[in-house]
Amino acid sequence: MSATKDVLVFIEQRHGIIQSVSLELLGIGATLATKLESNLIAVVIGNQVIDLAKEVGSYGAKRVYVVDDPMLETYVNETYTKALTAVIRETNPDVALVGATALGRDLAPRVSSRLHTGLTADCTSLDIDETTNQLLMTRPAFGGNLMATIICPDHRPQMSTVRPGVMIKPEQDKTRKFDIITIDANLKPSDVNVEVLETVYETKKRIRIEDANVLVSAGRGIGSKENMKQVETLAQLLKGEVSGTRAVVDNGWLDKDRQVGQTGKTVRPDLYFALGISGAIQHISGMEESNLVIAINRNPEAPIFEVADVGIVGDVNKVLPELFKQLNHH
């Protein structure tokens, strides 16, 4: 059976809620399908998930395949691998996309292995090569130092997991026409060798600042302990942790284990957001290897601007409320 040119998106649902990365994939999937002059299709796997299929259709999938089975109530890679593989075998898509979540990055490798096709992990950009019609899958490697574009020339589907938050979610349109097709994956109890005993949801633990991907860091310029709440808020909005300079720690505004610099910790986050930090050498030495540095400081001559990718000259306590306003709007 030869492959179609269709683009298939795996819709990840947890407890009946579609994960936002899956909707983002419908966005990029539609773009790829247009370039391939083919159809965007989607697959929903779970127990009693027909209603979700309707939602998926309203986001642009032309056909929504559903594998609905009580055995798919809770995610287990054995049943989900079998279900997704069954749909891919049935539909023969050219491209299959899965969100690079803790679930997707477990499921997709097993599926690709079973189908004997390639899989490219955690892509941040997808495109179609205009001459070969191959999927160009671009991803970071070597700790983000290198970007690689991967192709899968001779095996189908071309599979990729895609980083959440990178692609743009399409607009919902409830007037869209689409088909819902159910598929029986022929699941049997003997397919399963694992048993989920308990599922626990946790609010995020405080993580060590050395391990944080995003740090929102306060300096003396933040002004008062009261203003540290704004720092906390920004950290929450950016899913990061709060850190600070020695001055802030010495003032008792922050715990010692949150101190960055010579007598504190050395950090290398993806984003270091420096608020009211002038950038004394003891501080800079602890954070200068951060990937992206954004600094807000009143003094245009502050040394922090020498290591900042984006420097804002201004009062932190005026810029932050404006930033919150726009972030919330966003």
Partner 1 sequence: MEFGFKKEHYLLRQMLQDFTEKEVAPLAAEIDELERFPIETVEKMKNVGILGIPFPKEYGGEGGDYLGYILAVEEISKACATTGVVLSGHTSLCCQPIYEFGTEEQKQKYLVPLAKGEKLGAFALTEPNAGTDASKQETIAIEDGDDYILNGSKIFITNAGYADVYIVMAMTDKSQGTRGITAFIVEGDTPGFSVGPKEKKMGIRGSSTCELIFEDVRVPKANILGKIGYGFKIAMKTLDGGRIGIAAQACGIAEGALNETVKYVKERKQFGRPLAAFQNTQFELATMATKVDAARMLLYRAAYKKDNKEPFSSEAAMAKLYASEVAMEVTNKAVQLHGGYGYSREYPVERMMRDAKITEIYEGTSEVQKMVISATLLK
Partner 2 sequence: MKIVVCVKQVPDTSEVRIDQKTGTMIREGVKSIINPDDLSGLEAALSIKDQNHAEVIALSMGPMQADSAMRECLAMGVDRAILVSDRVFAGADTWATSLLLSKAIAQINPDLIICGRQAIDGDTAQVGPQIAEHLSLPSVAYVGDITLENENNLVVKRTFENGYQLIRVKTPCLLTVLSEMNSPRYMRVGGIFSAFNDGLVEVWDNSNLNLQPEELGLKGSPTKVKKSYTKGVKTAGKVFDVEPKEAAKVIIEKLKESYIL
Q: Is 282 among the residues that bind partner 1 (CB under 8 A)? A: yes
What DSSP character marks residue 225? Answer: S
CA angle 126, 49, 98 (to 5 degrees): 15
Smallest distance, partner 1 to C-beta of residue 263, A: 6
Site string for partner 1, 205-234 (x = CB under 8 A): ------------------------------
- Counting every residue written for the chain, the total comes to 330
Using CA atoms of 72, 81, 52, 128 in order, give the dihedral in degrees to the nearest 10: 180
Nearest alpha-carbon partner for 137 in 111, 103, 166: 166
Burial level of 51, CB count in 10 A (0-12/13-18/19+)? exposed
Nearest alpha-carbon partner for 80 in 44, 52, 53: 44
| C-beta of 252 vs 301, nearer to partner 2 | 301
Name the pairing type of β-strands 125-128 and 135-141: antiparallel
| C-beta of 143 vs 252, nearer to partner 2 | 143
Q: Is 310 among the residues that bind partner 1 (CB under 8 A)? A: no
Tokens of 12: 């990840």
| C-beta of 97 vs 209, nearer to partner 1 | 209
Task: Give the one residue of 20, 132, 186, 285 binding partner 1; rule: CB under 8 A.
Answer: 285
Q: Is 314 among the residues that bind partner 1 (CB under 8 A)? A: no
| C-beta of 158 vs 245, nearer to partner 1 | 245
Smallest distance, partner 1 to C-beta of residue 245, A: 13
| C-beta of 7 vs 123, nearer to partner 2 | 123
Decide if 221 contacts 318 (C-beta within 8 A): no
314-to-48, 140, 233, 290, 328 alpha-carbon distances in Å: 54, 34, 19, 22, 21
303 binds, among partner 1, partner 2, none (CB under 5 to 8 A by kind): partner 1
Nearest alpha-carbon partner for 45 in 23, 77, 21, 20: 77
Q: Is 262 among the residues that bind partner 1 (CB under 8 A)? A: yes
| C-beta of 92 vs 282, nearer to partner 1 | 282
Give kind and range of the element (H or E) at residue 235.
helix 228-237
Q: Which stretch, 43-51, 162-170, 280-288, 292-300, contacts partner 1 (CB under 8 A)?
A: 280-288
125 binds, among partner 2, partner 1, none (CB under 5 to 8 A by kind): none
Q: Is 266 among the residues that bind partner 1 (CB under 8 A)? A: no
Q: Is 133 among the residues that bind partner 1 (CB under 8 A)? A: no
Q: Is 50 among the residues that bind partner 1 (CB under 8 A)? A: no
Smallest distance, partner 1 to C-beta of residue 288, A: 8
Q: Is 299 among the residues that bind partner 1 (CB under 8 A)? A: no
CA distance 170 to 183: 26
